[in-house]
Amino acid sequence: MTQAVNLISALAGVVGTTNIITNDDEMLPFLVDWRGRYRGRAQIVIRPRTTEEVAAVVRLCAERRVPIVPQGGNTGMCGGATPDDSGYAVVVNLGRMNRIRGLDLDTNAITVDAGCVLADVQRAASEADRLFPMGLGSEGTCQIGGNISTNSGGTAVLRYGNMRELVLGLEAVLPDGRIWDGLRALRKDNTGYDLKQLFIGAEGTLGLVTGAVLKLFPKPTAMATALVAVHSVEGALRLLSALRGTCGERISAFEIMSDSEMEIVLRQIPGTIKPIDATAPFYVFLDLADSAGDLDLAGTLERALANALDGGLISDAVIASSSSQAAAIWRLRHSVSEANKKEGVSVSHDTSVPISRIPEFVRRVSSEMASQYPNARRIFVGHIGDGNIHFVALFPKSLADDLDTFEKAALSINRLVHDITASLDGSISAEHGIGQSNRKLLARYTDPLELKMMAAIKRLFDPLNIMNPGKVMPDVLDGEISLET
């Protein structure tokens, strides 16, 4: 107890008492993930405002072997920012560290605190007539440090890459409290190992990201949006291939949704309408964008889709004739989580496979699910242009009344989907990360040598195992110290 009091007073000396939360009720929002799937405890939630404060906090914790849980907007999908239930952890919430440090137009780069909300960074870029392309459902809440630590994805990956590709430089506090200043704004730099890559996607287990230099892009000046009905997943891929030939690099989003999902969205979300008559097994949502002058992209898209219709690639299509029509189309896509939550209980997955193997993935999952779980609705939705498909098995809400049975079914469906994913050389976590949720899966589906390398790197950077312990690394690796056999 004395030790705890000592730590708290030492931490208060760093950030001031007003930026420390010790009261259980006030801590609560920081101890539960946004979906309410994980709930932990902590001795304290602390809200530093500068890199130096973060460093001092980490140093004080490290001296006492107190575990640190870095936290951004707390919008993660895998419980990566929620402490365990020991009550011993210090949650370091970066929400107050939200300064745009600078924007350099010629360099096309913006330097930000890790606690900046993604939408604020998008806005700062836009006000400077630039684009920061990362876009997520949670963009009004999630923070850049979390985007970096989870290597976030979203709908713009097809054109601009994952968060990893958008980071030029990084600043991080190491698990012993030392500050690494890697805030470079360089497009090319081959001076030794590229250390920032280690912290990107590490979910705060190797250090605490405090700042970043991010790439900016020309702002699109022309846009076109379409909703397209296709006969099959193969048809969607053929459409993508055809569009690459006629619309080239302008393809900015290419998402797919099965009719099973479309039906649920239309029923559950008030005010949504499907702007085409045809019913088809799958729908494609697509955007073209160009930053050069005022090209007629709607015209380009119309010709391309007319050709696709003539060639039998698609069965129907509509092109938005205004930005509000475009928004209405995209609203269908963005309402998926909300609609499914209203409709039933779901078992969902975050699969990626090589793009050419998507049809086989969909076929095999559909067929296995139809025979093993005929009462589940089979939903496919996601970023088909990146090979990232979310399969959702949707059950009536009543099924969750018997939680044990439901959880057993969920585990067995997970196994079925992940085994198919693995057999297709895919990933069981394309964009959501590992956090707490997927640690066992990581152990199961990852090459043991690769796990050893990861564990050895974790040990090297965090020998006390205080930086977000219990996240990413599977428990089975706790004994691994070196890379040796």
- Taking the complex as a whole, how short is the minimal distance between the CB of residue 278 and its own copies, in angstroms? 25
Per-residue contact track with its own copies, 237 to 276, x per CB under 8 A? x---x--xxxxxxx--------------------------
> Token pair of 40, please?
């932990």
Count of residues in contact with its own copies, rule CB under 8 A: 94
Nearer Cβ to its own copies (109/365): 109
Contact between 426 and its own copies (CB under 8 A)? yes
Q: Which long-range contacts (CB under 8 A, 24 or more apart) does 369-377 make?
A: 369/393, 369/413, 369/416, 372/412, 372/416, 373/409, 373/413, 375/399, 376/347, 376/413, 377/260, 377/264, 377/344
Residue from 68, 200, 336, 365 touching its own copies (CB under 8 A): that is 200
Contact between 157 and its own copies (CB under 8 A)? yes
Contact between 89 and its own copies (CB under 8 A)? no
Residue from 29, 65, 87, 105 touching its own copies (CB under 8 A): that is 105
Nearer Cβ to its own copies (3/197): 197
Contact between 483 and its own copies (CB under 8 A)? yes
Q: Which long-range contacts (CB under 8 A, 24 or more apart) does 305-312 make?
A: 305/226, 305/228, 307/242, 307/246, 308/228, 308/239, 308/242, 308/243, 311/242
Rounded alpha-carbon distances, angstroms, from residue 152 to 144, 322, 466 = 10, 30, 24
Contact between 418 and its own copies (CB under 8 A)? no
292 neighbors 219 (Cβ within 8 angstroms): no
Q: Could you tell me what percentage of the chain is helix, strand and coil, using 3-state DSSP and rounding each to the nearest 5?
A: 40, 20, 35
Nearer Cβ to its own copies (333/377): 333
Nearer Cβ to its own copies (80/95): 80
**Amino acid at the residue 249:** E
Rounded alpha-carbon distances, angstroms, from residue 418 to 257, 388, 391, 444 = 20, 13, 11, 10
- Taking the complex as a whole, how short is the minimal distance between the CB of residue 448 and its own copies, in angstroms? 10
Contact between 187 and its own copies (CB under 8 A)? yes
- Taking the complex as a whole, how short is the minimal distance between the CB of residue 154 and its own copies, in angstroms? 10
Contact between 383 and its own copies (CB under 8 A)? yes
Give the CA angle between residues 127, 129, 133 to the nearest 5°: 90
Contact between 108 and its own copies (CB under 8 A)? yes
259-268 vs 336-343: helix crossing angle, rounded to 10 = 80
- Taking the complex as a whole, how short is the minimal distance between the CB of residue 50 and its own copies, in angstroms? 19
- Taking the complex as a whole, how short is the minimal distance between the CB of residue 473 and its own copies, in angstroms? 8
Contact between 300 and its own copies (CB under 8 A)? yes
Nearer Cβ to its own copies (28/186): 186
Nearer Cβ to its own copies (95/435): 435
Per-residue contact track with its own copies, 37 to 66, x per CB under 8 A? ------------------------------
Nearer Cβ to its own copies (37/178): 178
Stretch that binds its own copies, among 25-33, 254-262, 305-313, 427-435 (CB under 8 A): 427-435
Q: How many residues does the chain have?
A: 485
Which sign, positive or negative, has the C-alpha torsion 88, 207, 138, 183?
A: positive
Residues in 166-185 that interact with its own copies by CB under 8 A: 174, 176, 178, 180-182, 184-185
The neighbouring-strand residues paired with 429 are 350
Q: Where are the beta strands (DSSP E) in 320-426?
A: 345-348, 351-352, 377-383, 388-395
Separation of alpha carbons 248 and 242, rounded Å: 9
